Amino acid sequence: MTVTAAHTEAPRDERRGRVARGRVLLYAFLISLLVVFALPLLWALSSSFKARSDIFSYPPQPLPLPATLENFRGLLDGQPFWSWFLTSTLVAGISTVVSVALCSLAGFAFAKYRFKGKRFLFNLMFSSLAVPFAVIVVPLFTMIAKAHLTTPYFALVVPWVAPAFGIFMMRQYTEQAVPDALLDAGRVDGCTEFALFRRIALPLLRPALGALGVWSFLASYNSLLWPLIVVSAPEDYTLPLGIQALFGATGRQYDLVLAAAVLAAVPSLLVFFLLRRQLLEGLTAGAVKS
């Protein structure tokens, strides 16, 4: 955990007391927020190890005593958890790879070329961010159902693999990270334009690719509304659909679904922690540049 070097400017004695008190308040504020943000998740983790009858014991018990793995065993033995898991991760993985490729290519074009209609095309692309999903959901579902393409590997992937947000982000990043001189040098060496992208731009864009990758993975892995509409066969369920169905089927009992929720959160958190720096920095790159 890096901390920026502390700038101590030797505050005067009378100010020192006030500053110290301010510090204490600041840390108290930040730590209580930390508790507020982390507590619900820790509570779920703890509850997933409680016996069904203990989940709602009163007064609430912070620790699962006695701890049991019964919920996890019941889930993995009795429910097609791994099938949901596989569908979710595969769909998210495929979407991520394809969308990172398409967005970086388009972002590169918008950042590094002058071409006729660029401004118009860019605005067209950007305006699609303002189209609410709710507007296209009914017709899109109708089209996909009519075409018998409701398999998750088509319906959950193809319509969403080129998000305008991703292209915008890649354009911002490419403008900063890829010097024109390098591209010109590549041209002199006889590289085709695609080779310029693949050999020169892509390696320089690696942090942004990571950011976009996590972003797409999470967006796909966590998505609920669209899968809820388009996927109907239980054997095609993704994790959110499976958990949702399980919750309904068990009469809104928490034992199995909490175990499923905890396991489902593992990939999201793993991806997030592995690529946290890229994600947080990449996400803000577009917004901060004036």
Please give the residues from 64 up to 123 whose contact with another protein meets the rule CB under 8 A: 102-103, 105-106, 108-110, 113, 115, 118, 121
- Which of 77, 146, 188, 235 binds another protein (CB under 8 A)? It is 146
**Residue 70's closest CA among 91, 85, 55?**
55
Q: How many residues does the chain have?
A: 290
**In whole angstroms, how close is the CB of 112 to another protein at the nearest point?**
8
**Which residues lie below 8 Å from residue 233, measured CB to CB, with a gap of 6+?**
none
Query: Counting contacts by CB under 8 A, is residue 36 touching another protein?
Result: yes
**Residue 54 CB burial class (10 angstroms; 0-12, 13-18, ≥19):** middle
**93 close to 210: Cβ distance less than 8 angstroms:** no
- Which of 24, 34, 185, 274 binds another protein (CB under 8 A)? It is 34
- Which of 69, 224, 249, 274 binds another protein (CB under 8 A)? It is 224
**In whole angstroms, how close is the CB of 75 to another protein at the nearest point?**
13
**261 close to 243: Cβ distance less than 8 angstroms:** yes
**Which residues lie below 8 Å from residue 219, measured CB to CB, with a gap of 6+?**
160, 163
Query: Counting contacts by CB under 8 A, is residue 53 touching another protein?
Result: no
Binding part of the chain for another protein, among 66-74, 76-84, 191-199, 205-213 by CB under 8 A, reads: 191-199
- Which of 51, 141, 151, 250 binds another protein (CB under 8 A)? It is 141
- Which of 12, 14, 30, 66 binds another protein (CB under 8 A)? It is 30
**In whole angstroms, how close is the CB of 69 to another protein at the nearest point?**
19
Measure the CA–CA gap between 90 and 84, rounded to whole angstroms: 10
**Residue 219 CB burial class (10 angstroms; 0-12, 13-18, ≥19):** middle
Q: What's the gap between Cα 251 and its chain centre?
A: 30
Binding part of the chain for another protein, among 69-77, 79-87, 159-167, 204-212 by CB under 8 A, reads: 159-167
- Which of 10, 120, 251, 290 binds another protein (CB under 8 A)? It is 290
- Which of 197, 216, 237, 278 binds another protein (CB under 8 A)? It is 197
Number of residues that bind another protein (CB under 8 A): 103
